[in-house]
Amino acid sequence: MDGDTGLRVLLMADTHVPKRAKDLPAEVWDRVAAADVVVHAGDWVAPALLDELAARSARLVAVWGNNDGEELRARLPEVARVELGGLRWGVVHETGPKARREERMRAAYPDLDVLVFGHSHIPWDTEHEGLRLLNPGSPTDRRRQPTCTYMTCTVADGQLREVTLRPV
């Protein structure tokens, strides 16, 4: 990860393995190995990737998505909450339509500093009334985007730093 200080965080969502890809790209696995925390915002599709990511991550924070079946839903929460580097984080798969997303999510999660979400496969990085909303896109299924993507960031001293959208 970029930067020498702080907690190194890798954000991904909508991996859809093995339906959209047989595996995560090698570049993403390299980032998993370097990260202090891996965040996955749902739509795994099959439990095998969850098992492998859990085994290879220093720490995994994850939720299920709308394409995840009974086994994944039994193992993962719909919403995850965690403190990372002095910030209060939430992870959820769906946030609804993009219109007024910031206002709706601020009202729904008044206690969070950062909310990571997926579902659309469309990268998103906005801030509203102290809530940073991040969607890393998908590292395996670009849909209407020019490339597949994921995000990295660092967290230090209660500050989110170096938020970077990375094309695959």
Q: Domain total for the chain?
A: 1
Assigned token pair, 160: 């989110």
18: in domain:
yes
Contact call for residues 154 and 8 (beta carbons, < 8 A): yes
Assigned token pair, 167: 């094309």
2: in domain:
no
For 24-49, write each residue's pLDDT tens digit: 999 999 999 999 999 999 999 999 99
1: in domain:
no
Strand-by-strand arrangement of the 79-84 sheet: 79-84, 87-92, 114-116, 131-135, 124-128
29: domain CATH number is: 3.60.21.10
Query: Residue 62, exposed/middle/buried by CB under 10 A (0-12, 13-18, 19+)?
Result: buried
Enter the pTM of the model.
0.95
